[in-house]
Structure 1
Amino acid sequence: MATFKETGIAALQDVIDPELGVDIVSLGLIYDVTNDDQGHCVVTMTLTMMGCPLTDVLANGITDALTALPEVKDVEINLVWEPAWSIARMSRAARLTLGV
């Protein structure tokens, strides 16, 4: 049986960064996904840069993807800057897709 983190990460693979055309998991933006017994889900993540203009778009996509799971009632996004995002966090497939 999959853990909630595995289930949550799988759901977040459907959230595509519209500028890059790659999902946020492959980009390495997601650090953690948890859910408590009351259905409160917390996503710890970063962005590729501070002031990213797509913050709201990504937050809406994350909320939609996770609230589609039966065990999730609400989603809180914990935006962090440590550890800092770098290209090294991207999956090999994402780097190939983006040519880096």
Structure 2
Amino acid sequence: MTDQANHVLTEAPGPKSSAPDEDAIISAIATVFDPEIPVNIYELGLIYAIDLHEDGRVGIEMTLTAPNCPSAQELPEQVRDAVSKVDGVSGASVEIVWEPPWDMSRMSDDARLALNMF
């Protein structure tokens, strides 16, 4: 009688799930500009939150400079489209939030410089 070796069966590793790269998401968002202001919406401080999920979904909370912004329909769609094109993103959702209200203090130094607001 011969001894059989004990074998542990393991599954071959599949593709790893991992959240998309935050810098790539920010770069994609920075391609979206408010048509009335020559600064991208990230530098304007309109992005309040970026939630990256391990399955590739990205959730974004953003605001607008004013509730009656004429670009209220287009900007969220442009953000969703830009983020959806980033490698590793399986889906993107954009939610408009109004709290806290946007004000100029949320703008980056680059945005202030571009708009001559120092």
- Both structures adopt the same fold (TM-score exceeding 0.5): yes
Q: Encode CA deviations 1:51-92: one digit per residue, 9 max, x unaligned.
A: 211022211221121011121122211211112211011111
Q: 2:50 — aligned with what?
A: 33
What is the aligned length?
Answer: 98
Question: Contact 1:4 / 1:34 at 8 angstroms: preserved in 2?
Answer: no
Question: Contact 1:35 / 1:72 at 8 angstroms: preserved in 2?
Answer: no
Structure 2 unaligned blocks of 5 or more: 1-19
Separation (CA, whole Å) in 1 of partners of 2:69 and 2:25:
23
Structure showing the higher helix proportion among its residues: 1
Given the alignment of the two structures, is residue 64 of structure 1 paired with residue 84 of structure 2, yes or no? no
Give the CA deviation at 1:35: 2.5
Q: 1:77 — aligned with what?
A: 94
Q: Percent identity?
A: 37
Separation (CA, whole Å) in 2 of partners of 1:44 and 1:32:
5
Q: 1:16 — aligned with what?
A: 33
Structure showing the higher strand proportion among its residues: 1
Structure 1 unaligned blocks of 5 or more: none
